[in-house]
Structure 1
Amino acid sequence: MAAANVRPVIVFDLFGVIARNQTEDDKRKLERIAGVAGDAPAEAAFWNVYWACRPPYDAGQSSLDYWSTVTRELGVTYSKEIVAALIEADLASWCDVDERMVALIAEIGASGRTIGLLSNIILDLVPIFEAKHGGWLRHFHALTYSCRIGVAKPDPRAYRICAERLGVATSEALFFDDNERNVLAARQAGMAAEVFTSPEQVRERLGLP
């Protein structure tokens, strides 16, 4: 833990904390494109494979290779047009943000606190997300993306790389993530970490009004 009289560097996860997770409408759109909408077993199989194949994608795998793996695991064949539509819809589904958290990030940044981002994010999404949200991303002193460092949370290397990029030891960082598994891994890597629940939680933890 950081010394009591030293304000820790703040590290945020992205999706489920600042950026919103996929909406139900986003999911239904993907199901329609994949041809599984309305078939409960097929929908369940699609999402099981979608998530099971995600770790290599987060660590830098290309979109085409990811969807090739998904289709192979599902035992289906999609045309190039369908794969392109799946990629486009999937990328678009991860671009919305919680404006309350965006305002809070700007406030923390303006206060002089050092803040970093540690996100499991796919390579093709980075330029899209940065083009849309570059205005507030500039408040971060380091953007650590899993797809660019080759490892994804909860791999302990991700937390160490993030801390190194911020110029601190892991013990000098406080991390917020909505995934308990990632929070536990952060603690094991030496960070103070909390499961994110709301902007109000962050404000209270940082002693902000």
Structure 2
Amino acid sequence: MAAGHRIVLFDLFGVIALQQRPGSLARMAACCNAPTDAFTTAYWELRPPYDAGRQSAPEYWAGVLRLLSRPADPGTTEELRLADIDSWSRVDRRMVSFTRSLRSRARVAVLSNIPADHADAFLAAQPWMHSLDLLALSGKINTAKPEPAAFHHCINALHAAPADFLFVDDRAENVGAARAVGMTAHVFTGLDDLVEVIDSWLATGAGSPTASRH
């Protein structure tokens, strides 16, 4: 398989970008005078349609506030929306550098669960991402991991075969979903381990027994 056909497909949060800022959910809960535990439950339970672009930010936040029996006034929903975007805004600089350097050896793409308004803000703050071969952002493509459609979107958009991909994600559920559509996939635990996995995969070919053990 030609090197130009090999594609490293990265998750964003927990891999290239950092996870949500510690304490963010408690601060958002305080914005609407809600208990942190109840806010956290509502925040995550209602998230999937928002992540997948099937619900707007105002619709999502109105739903969260309604579940918490709090008024969904425009000022509160916008305060929560902006606080939420900021909470997911950090990147791992070492991973950014590695991702950019990898483009000399393979095509590089991102498949991330991220609402559309978050995606706009993130890309504005991280313009280097526009140079990647594909940005498959769930709020923009209307499907989210671990749905098979999210992976097939990447396959079709890059005119590739599943075996052309090495998918890297910190969630085992998403790695399993990628393998189910025929991709090689790796559960991300850190850069040092990832470098070894990618070097081996590029040296031996996508879908090799060595690569697929990870």
Alignment TM-score, normalising by the size of structure 1: 0.89
* 3-state SS of 1:144 partner: strand
The Cα of 1:5 is off from its aligned counterpart by 8.7
In 2, the alpha carbon distance for the partners of 1:112 and 1:5 equals 7
In the alignment, residue 196 of structure 1 is paired with which amino acid?
Answer: F
**Match of residue 45 from structure 1:** 38
Distance 1:119 1:163 in 2: 15
- 1:107 and 1:162 mapped to 2: Cα distance? 21
RMSD: 1.9
1:92 alignment partner in structure 2 = 86
Cα distance in 1 between the residues matched to 2:95 and 2:136: 18
Correspondence for 2:207 = none
**Alignment map for 1:55-134 (pairs within 5 Å):** 55-60=48-53, 61-109=55-103, 111-134=104-127
Q: Deviations over 1:96-128 (max 9, x none)?
A: 10001001011101x241111101110111221
Larger displacement relative to structure 2 (27-36 or 144-153): 27-36
- Identity over the aligned pairs, expressed in percent? 37
Quote the offset at 1:139 in angstroms: 3.8
TM-score (norm 2): 0.87
Partner of 2:204: none
- Is residue 54 from structure 1 mapped to residue 47 from structure 2 by the alignment? yes
Runs of at least 5 residues in structure 1 that lack an aligned partner in the other structure: 37-41
Q: What is the count of residue pairs matched by the alignment?
A: 199
- Give SS of 1:35's match: coil
Deviation of the 1:76 alpha carbon = 2.1
| Distance across 2 between alignment mates of 1:150 and 1:7 | 26
How far apart, CA to CA, are the structure 1 residues paired with 2:62 and 2:195? 43
Contact 1:18 1:97 in 2 (8 A): yes
Distance 1:30 1:81, change over 3 A: same
Offset of residue 62 of structure 1: 0.8
Letter in 2 for 1:67: W
Query: Where in structure 2 are there 5+ consecutive unaligned residues?
Result: 201-214
Matched residue type, 1:205: V
What SS is found at the alignment partner of 2:36? helix
